[in-house]
Amino acid sequence: MEKLTLDDIKEYLETKYIGRNIIYLDKATSTNDIAKEMAEKGVPDGLIVIAEEQTKGRGRMGRKWITGKGEALAVSILLRPDIEPNLCPSITSLIALSSVKAIRKVTGFDIMIKWPNDLVLNNRKLGGILTEMTMEGMKVKYIIIGLGLNINQEDFDEDIKNIAVSLKSFSGENFNRRIILSEILNFFERDYEYFKRFGLSYFVEDIKKYSIIFGKEISVIDGYKSVDGTVVDIDKEGGLILKTSDGNLKRIISGDVIMEGLYNIYSNKI
């Protein structure tokens, strides 16, 4: 099993600060929780927390994301952006785009984004993102991005085996996690610097390009509410614009997407 310390990945790393400080753990409950602890201690922008085995990882809506040892990536990134709080959800779209570009570069596979926070391969879930914000007064104190990515798993638990995929289960090939992690960090730092200057609007066309639901008929479930419509746009803050059956446009900022032919994780463990 290859390790993912800074010494192990630095030959592939092109960043100036993201990933230049790494906490690498054999086992952890949640990398996001550890990153939060470090953030509260004043650790600066760009810290990465990596766990080979994650026992209480979280996805959106409190779902579990359990990471098997040495087969996947469980990574959290600490950011301290000087942005308005309402822009923080845009970070999820940004890291999703950076990850898609990076994995496509390494593998050549048609990785796509399922709004708002999933990475998709062959209509199955390859990875997920959980972004958590902490405020201080009316300002953003820090943001933690958690990224879980299936790399070399061959077997999945019974309850997710029909919706999950790894790069290896799709292709039969083993992949170098050091290279994939480094490329994601390389792409993300470049994109993050542009984001701080120009906002998500700089990236919206690429986000649409890699969106698996753009132009498609979907349902969005948020709590006990469901909205049906066709995805006609993604706005400059990452919001989804649906055209409903009555011809009205509705902006969606959160929820679970259901689309025919694509896995459905609503009420599911991941």
What pLDDT digit, counting tens, does each position of 15-28 carry?
A: 999 999 999 999 99
pLDDT for res 222: 83
pLDDT for res 238: 93
Assign 247 a pLDDT band (cuts: 50, 70, 90): very high
Angle (nearest 5°) at CA 125 between 121 and 131? 115
pLDDT for res 128: 95
Q: Are residues 52 and 109 in the same domain?
A: yes
Q: Which amino acid is at 211?
A: S
Q: Are residues 248 and 186 in the same domain?
A: no
Structure tokens at 126: 């390859």
Q: Are residues 229 and 185 in the same domain?
A: no
The arithmetic mean of pLDDT across residues 164-183, rounded, is: 97
Q: Say yes or no to pLDDT of 62 above 50.
A: no
Total domains present in the chain: 2
pLDDT for res 66: 56
In this predicted model, what pLDDT tens digit does every residue of 130-145 receive, in sequence order?
999 999 999 999 999 9
Structural domain boundaries, residue 228: 217-258
Assign 70 a pLDDT band (cuts: 50, 70, 90): confident
In a domain, residue 62? The reply is yes
The CATH number of whichever domain residue 19 belongs to comes to 3.30.930.10
Express as a percent the part of the chain with pLDDT over 70: 93
The arithmetic mean of pLDDT across residues 108-115, rounded, is: 98
In a domain, residue 263? The reply is no
Q: Are residues 132 and 221 in the same domain?
A: no
The arithmetic mean of pLDDT across residues 181-202, rounded, is: 97
Which position has the higher pLDDT, 38 or 70?
38
pLDDT for res 270: 34
Q: Are residues 147 and 171 in the same domain?
A: yes
In a domain, residue 265? The reply is no
Q: Say yes or no to pLDDT of 200 above 90.
A: yes
The arithmetic mean of pLDDT across residues 154-159, rounded, is: 84
Q: Are residues 238 and 170 in the same domain?
A: no
Q: Say yes or no to pLDDT of 269 above 80.
A: no
User: What is the distance between the alpha carbons of residues 235 and 242, in angstroms, rounded to a whole number?
Assistant: 11
CA atoms within 13 A of residue 262's CA, in its CB half-sphere: 23
The arithmetic mean of pLDDT across residues 49-77, rounded, is: 75
Q: Which helix (H) or strand (E) holds 178?
A: helix 177-198
Alpha carbon 148 to its chain centroid, in Å, reads 7
Q: Say yes or no to pLDDT of 118 above 60.
A: yes
Main-chain dihedrals φ then ψ at residue 194, nearest 5 degrees: -65, -40
The arithmetic mean of pLDDT across residues 50-71, rounded, is: 68
Contact 185, 18 (CB under 8 A): yes
In a domain, residue 264? The reply is no
Which position has the higher pLDDT, 1 or 176?
176
In a domain, residue 266? The reply is no
In a domain, residue 253? The reply is yes
User: What is the distance between the alpha carbons of residues 130 and 57, in angstroms, rounded to a whole number?
Assistant: 10
Q: Are residues 186 and 225 in the same domain?
A: no
User: What is the distance between the alpha carbons of residues 115 and 106, in angstroms, rounded to a whole number?
Assistant: 22
Contact 34, 200 (CB under 8 A): no
Q: Are residues 242 and 188 in the same domain?
A: no
Q: Are residues 176 and 229 in the same domain?
A: no
In a domain, residue 150? The reply is yes
The CATH number of whichever domain residue 252 belongs to comes to 2.30.30.100
The arithmetic mean of pLDDT across residues 189-210, rounded, is: 97
Contact 21, 43 (CB under 8 A): yes
In a domain, residue 235? The reply is yes
Q: Say yes or no to pLDDT of 61 above 50.
A: no
Q: Are residues 18 and 129 in the same domain?
A: yes
Angle (nearest 5°) at CA 258 between 200 and 95? 25
Q: Are residues 246 and 182 in the same domain?
A: no
Main-chain dihedrals φ then ψ at residue 86, nearest 5 degrees: -70, -15
> Among residues 171, 187, 209, which one ends one of the domains?
209
Q: Say yes or no to pLDDT of 78 above 60.
A: yes
pLDDT for res 157: 82
Q: Are residues 122 and 246 in the same domain?
A: no
pLDDT for res 267: 39
